[in-house]
Structure 1
Amino acid sequence: MKKLHTNHLHRESTFTYPFETFEDTSTGKGYRRISPKGILAHYPYFYLNMFNQAGNTLLMILEHEGNRNIFLLDMEKETAKQVTFYHKSDGFQDFGPRFGPDGSTLIYVVHNQVVRLNIESGHVDVLYEPEVGWETYSVVDGSSDGQYLVTIDFLKSDYVNKDNSNWEDFMLQGQRGLRSKLLKIHIESKEVDMLLDTFYYEAYGLKKNQWLGHPQFKPGDNHMISYCHEGFGGTVDARIWLMNTITRDIHCPRKHTYEGEIISHEFFTHDGEKLGFVRIAHDDSDKGSLRFVNMNTFKEETIMDLPRCSHFITDAKDNYIIADADYPAKPYLYFIDINKKKTIPLLLHNSSMKSYGNTQDAHPHPVFTPDSNHILFVSDMEGYPAIYMASVEEFVREDKRNE
């Protein structure tokens, strides 16, 4: 097993900087940049646990001299603490870090290993390393009780381009396929359960060496995992899949109804009752809809028809949605009251969605803070990806008054 460059983790850097305030030109809504000015910044993939238990510290990624590392941002004190010191050559996967269940650890991928960092001591524990010739996925999800992780390994020799830093490579990879193994890891024992290998996917009547992505545990259920068939837009046969890790049965809860239909960016609601996703009629469409599949009945519900959106997610109580419209639609962030079916154009995110070395860099990936009073989003509206925060407390407060 390779040794981690643990000496990178013995330093510590803390700095304070002011959050800058802006006003949206379309709605007049105020918002703040909460990452340092002039520095490329983003937070982890939008369904990962990026806040500590108290909800006042955000896990964010900053880039300095081409090196991306984890910083913990105290949003009340406007102070950031650097907790990793990796070099670009270390292979740190910057969209995959997440807090462990008690907030004292961080779990992420570096050196092609899934590791756990103790924030206080700086100790790094290797939880998993793939076999020679394989690379582990950048995003690792955890079960609600903190016992298990789920990830995917990819066969390196199947890569079109290992860096996958542009959409052309992404499209080619989807066409070629990428042998993938779906894995469940017991954190304490480090035992690995290989759930699925797409080399044998034809046994399910599916494409051999299908490229898999975005494995997620259903909240409150250690034995139900969702994953996706990766690929570009409407070229995917069927995006969303579920696996029972005991029986190994797989099921597509939402089949595509025609060639070219786009289903994307699935996530579980916090109560585990529903699976959300974006549906777009076809690649050139400027319209879309936000939908849920009931995890008990598998019936589909359309929450809202909107201009074309890339992502959406619910707040901690599953009462509200924040969604980001994508071109050719006008690039608004939409705040949605699920129960009232009420939609508010909050502000323009104005992000280009372009790559700055990673295709995800300038994706808004809007999320709620744990108290539901603010939303965060990423945008390159100032010429580089940065993290912004806007209050939605007035809408939440109005709802509470009317209860």
Structure 2
Amino acid sequence: MSKGQPFHDPQIRYTDPYSGREIHQLTSYLGHSNHLYFTDPCWFDAGRSFVFSSDRDNQQNLFRYDLDTGLITQMTDLHGWGKVGGCYCAANRCHYYWWQHVLYEVHVDTLAERVIYEAPPGKYPPMIPPGRANPTADGKYIVNMLLPTQEEEEGTLNYGYRRFNELFEAKPLTQLARIDIATGKMEVIYEDRCYMRHENTSTKHPELMTFCHEGPWNRVEQRIWGVNILTGEVWKVRDQSVDDMQIGHEYWFADGEHIGYHGRSRSGQGDHVFGWIRWDNGDHHEAHFPFHSTHFHSLDEAMIVGDGTPGTVFSTQGHAQPFIQLFRWDGERYAGPKLLAYHRSTFNDQHAHPHPRFTPDGTHILYTSDLTGYSNLYRVEIGDFDDLPNLTPETRG
């Protein structure tokens, strides 16, 4: 396989057994395919194309998917072990990603590629980027967390969330870096002895971003933080010291002004909440509902999508609701959930998290599922909300 290679995965259309909606399976290669993390920009060409990652020919790479033709185009030619993701930048029409401590830019049309920045050489550089490369709205900077290198002992297996609690307890020095896309100059604009992740830039304000204090939600004192990347100012977003809420999975609404999140009380009792708040802590709303979903996403507050729970195989594993579900805001509460699709994914590491996300026009949901063994990409039209079946506590997956 090489950069530019086309793929035409057989596409499968089928009727969802619960909702009656037509599901469009977009990929069907004998290897995992998944869309980018739900907070990370991936869409271009008015939502008719997107960037995704896939394991093909025993190697993970980035690919472009064109919905109008079903054409899949390999965008990178990577070598070695690792997971690749990154973010698309509309201002530059380029995708930015890290691979083995090197920051790359690749044009989504020409596939022209260049190195933006490289971490200090050596097997174990002192500070390394743990993942995403998040561009600012004007396409001038990449912002990224840098964490101390963790040497691995021989014979150690690496798997999802293996060091999650360890890093929370260790409170490592974490640095927020700003990298100039044109020159590659890197500056540390903020640092703290705390496990920090989830860098998300506003799609409207080039100077604004959020990050989080990472860890078990019920033990993190303050999850969401705002940053002005030009001045270095840092502030709490949705101050958690005023109540007993644990929150997380924050993301920017499409307006680049508001931030959505969900959570519940630190005790794990009572209703769940979905909230949204402006970056400066104005226009704050929280809606309580007795429903659970692992992740939520939306373009605004009007309609939100969730992915329920992991699927189960045996009745002894407990009650599961592995459904793509929709909620609609009526001005006072969220109506629903409505059942859109049966994903039945295992959530076994990030490649099998459904992470449902709206298409930019709000008409379809894109999600990932390993329902058939390998993770694949699925797309379903929302259609008439009222026409969908209700998801009730008795609904079994």
TM-score grouping bracket, smaller chain normalisation: 0.7 to 0.9
- Structure-1 residue corresponding to 2:262: 278
Q: Which residue of 2 aligns with 1:70?
A: 62
In the alignment, is residue 25 of structure 1 matched against residue 14 of structure 2?
no
> Cα deviations across residues 263-314 of structure 1 (Å, max 9, x unaligned)?
1110111212311111133576695221112334445312452522222222
User: What secondary structure sits across from 1:393 in the alignment?
Assistant: coil
Q: 1:40 and 1:285, CA in 2 relative to 1: closer, same or farther beyond 3 A?
A: farther
SS in 1 for 2:352: coil
Corresponding position: 1:110 with 2:99: yes
- In structure 1, the partner of 2:279 is 295
Question: How does 1:314-353 map onto structure 2 within 5 Å?
Answer: 314-315=298-299, 319-326=302-309, 330-339=321-330, 341-343=334-336, 344-353=338-347
Residue type of the partner of 2:179? I
- 8 Å CA contact 2:91–2:137 kept in 1: the answer is no
Tell me the residue number matched to 1:126.
Answer: 115
Percent identity, please: 20
Deviation at 1:165, TM superposition (A): 1.9
With over 3 angstroms needed to count, the CA separation of the structure-2 counterparts of 1:286 and 1:297, relative to structure 1, is closer
Tell me the amino acid that sits aligned with residue 293 of structure 2. C
Deviation of 1:235 (Å)? 2.4
- Summarize the Cα distance change of 1:371–1:268 in structure 2 as closer, same or farther, 3 Å threshold: same
* AA of the residue aligned to 2:117: Y
Q: Which residue of 2 aligns with 1:372?
A: 362
- Give unmatched runs, 5+ long, in structure 2: 311-318, 389-397
Given candidates 301, 305, 309, the residue that maps to 2:293 is 309
Which sits farther off after the overlay, 230-239 or 335-344? 335-344
Match of 1:101 in 2: 90
Other-structure match for 1:169: 163
Question: Per-residue CA shift, 1:335-365, capped at 9, x if unaligned?
Answer: 23335543322223222211xxxx3121111
- Return 61-70 or 332-341, whichever deviates more: 332-341
Is the aligned partner of 1:385 residue 2:369? no
2:129 alignment partner, one of 118, 136, 154: 136
Q: CA deviation at 1:243?
A: 1.8
* Paired residues for 1:183-194 under 5 Å: 183-194=177-188
Instruction: Give the TM-score, by structure 1 length.
Output: 0.82
* 3-state DSSP of counterpart to 1:173: helix
- 2:115 match: secondary structure: strand
| Counterpart check, 1:210 vs 2:194 | yes
Question: What displacement does 1:26 show?
Answer: 2.7
TM-score (norm 2): 0.83
Aligned pair in 2 of structure 1 residues 160, 172: CA closer, same or farther (>3 Å)?
farther
Q: How many residues align?
A: 372
The 1-side partners of 2:375 and 2:267 are apart by 25
**Structure 1 ranges of 4+ moved more than 6 A:** 158-163
Distance in 2 (CA, whole Å) between partners of 1:347 and 1:130 is 43
Partner Cα distance (2:228, 2:7) in 1: 46
CA distance in 2, matches of 1:370, 1:392: 13
Rounded to whole Å, the distance in 2 between the matches of 1:221 and 1:163 is 41
Q: Could you say if the C-alpha distance between residues 283 and 24 of structure 1 is closer, same or farther in structure 2, counting changes exceeding 3 Å?
A: farther
| SS across alignment from 1:309 | coil
- Look up the SS of the partner of 1:382 in the other structure: coil
Report the Cα offset of residue 119 of structure 1. 3.8
Letter in 2 for 1:382: T
Structure 2 counterpart SS, 1:48? coil
- 1:367 positional shift: 0.7
**Deviations, residues 41-87 of structure 1 (Å, cap 9, x unaligned):** 10111122211233211212111243111111111211211121212
How much does 1:12 deviate? 2.8
Is the contact between residue 253 and residue 298 of structure 1 (CA under 8 Å) also seen in structure 2? no
Partner of 1:5: none
Change (3 A) 1:158 1:305: farther
Gaps of 5+ in 1: 1-7, 199-208, 399-403
Q: Is 1:57 matched up with 2:57?
A: no
Could you say which residue in structure 1 is the equivalent of 2:148?
A: 155
The answer as to whether partners of 1:324 and 1:334 remain within 8 angstroms in 2 is: yes
Deviations 1:177-226 (A, max 9, x none): 3321101222123333311122xxxxxxxxxx211101122232222221
Deviations 1:313-350 (A, max 9, x none): 223x6643222223666232222333554332222322
Q: What SS does the corresponding residue of 2:40 show, helix, strand or coil? A: coil
Counterpart residue identity of residue 272, structure 1 = G
Q: 1:201 maps to what in 2?
A: none
- For residues 348-367 of structure 1, the aligned pairs below 5 Å read 348-354=342-348, 359-367=349-357
Query: Do the aligned residues in 2 keep the contact of 1:240 with 1:254 (CA within 8 Å)?
Result: yes
Give the 3-state SS of the residue equivalent to 2:164 in structure 1.
helix
The change in CA–CA distance for 1:160 and 1:215 in structure 2 (over 3 A counts) is farther
3-state SS of 2:166 partner: helix
Task: Measure the CA separation in 2 of the matches of 1:160 and 1:335.
Answer: 44
1: CA distance between counterparts of 2:191 and 2:352? 32
Q: CA RMSD in A?
A: 3.0
Secondary structure of 1:184's counterpart equals strand
